[in-house]
């Protein structure tokens, strides 16, 4: 573990390098035990370089199916990091976890996180699973994806509303009829709802 951390400190620059972060996390995950991923993830989280922290977050996501405490750490601790870049990695880590356990099996967790009190946790779901209907289970059950995202149309956080609206817009490319059906039911008296409506309906409204 120490050799890997030293290697990262020498390899990963201070400037943003998302591709390198993802590559190094994947390499470590595929060549080490889940326990090593867990311990390395926690250790990297304590580093000052935010990109080392990001590698740690991804490692915790990779091993969270075996270690529930890692999943709790992502939800309760990582979600409170002030860097939006780290929050993007949280979304990726959550998606990786769902992929490993299976999206259908992860559905109760997805529902739980997308209704969390913390906006970063909610957005980790809406953003992490994009494009939702490219994911197994949601590919065959697009209506479930639409319902989960549409429920966030009055979210208190604009950050979450935009993510949900953009995710619905993604789905509209493949399932325009589902998005039109959903949007036609919305009460547009709310400014929040109108914002999501405009994002979600960007492609389908101009053709309807």
38 vs 43: CA distance, rounded Å: 9
The answer to whether the peptide bond before residue 166 is cis (omega within 30 degrees of 0) is: no
Taking every pair of C-alpha atoms in the chain, what is the biggest distance, in angstroms?
Answer: 58
Q: pLDDT tens for residues 134-152?
A: 999 999 999 999 999 999 9
H-only helix segments in the chain:
2-11, 18-31, 34-45, 50-63, 68-76, 84-101, 107-113, 119-128, 142-150, 158-174, 176-183, 191-200
**pLDDT-wise least confident of 7-16, 36-45, 123-132:** 7-16
106-113 own/partner pairs: CB under 8 Å, 24+ apart: 107/137, 107/144, 110/148, 111/148, 113/75
The answer to whether the beta carbons of residues 122 and 114 sit under 8 Å apart is yes
State the CB neighbour count (10 A cutoff) for residue 203. 14
The mean per-residue pLDDT over the stretch 79-102 comes to 97
Spatial separation of the C-alpha atoms in residues 74 and 76, rounded to whole Å: 6
Say what the pLDDT of residue 13 is. Answer: 76
Interval 81-105 mean pLDDT: 97
- Burial (CB count within 10 angstroms: exposed 0-12, middle 13-18, buried 19+), residue 64: buried
pLDDT band at 208 (very low <50, low <70, confident <90, very high): low
Question: What's the mean pLDDT when you consider all of the chain?
Answer: 96
Tell me what pLDDT residue 8 has. Answer: 93
pLDDT for the residue 197:
98
- What confidence tier does 16 reach under pLDDT thresholds 50, 70, 90? confident
Is the predicted pLDDT of residue 113 greater than 80, yes or no?
Answer: yes
Mean pLDDT throughout 157-184?
A: 97
The set of residues, in sequence order, having a beta carbon less than 8 Å from that of 178 and lying 6+ positions away, is 142, 143, 146, 171, 172
- For the segment 149-167, the average pLDDT, to the nearest whole number, is 98
């Amino acid at each position: 573990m120490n050799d890997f951390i030293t290697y990262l400190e020498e390899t990963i620059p201070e400037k943003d390098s998302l591709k390198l972060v993802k590559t190094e996390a994947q390499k470590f995950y595929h060549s080490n035990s889940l326990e090593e991923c867990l311990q390395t993830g926690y250790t990297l989280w304590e580093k000052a370089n935010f990109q080392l922290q990001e590698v740690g977050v991804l490692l915790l996501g990779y091993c969270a199916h075996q270690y529930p405490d890692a999943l709790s750490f992502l939800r309760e601790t990582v979600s409170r990091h002030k860097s939006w870049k780290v929050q993007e990695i949280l979304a990726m880590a959550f998606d990786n976890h769902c992929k490993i356990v299976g999206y259908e099996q992860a559905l109760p967790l997805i529902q739980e996180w997308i209704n969390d009190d913390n906006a970063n946790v909610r957005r980790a779901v809406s953003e992490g699973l994009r494009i939702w209907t490219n994911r197994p289970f949601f590919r065959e059950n697009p209506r479930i994806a639409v319902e989960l995202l549409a429920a966030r149309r009055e979210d208190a956080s604009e950050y979450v509303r935009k993510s949900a609206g953009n995710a619905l817009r993604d789905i509209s490319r493949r399932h325009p009829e589902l998005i039109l059906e959903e949007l036609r039911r919305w009460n547009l008296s709310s400014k929040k709802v109108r914002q999501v409506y405009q994002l979600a309906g960007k492609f389908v409204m101009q053709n309807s």
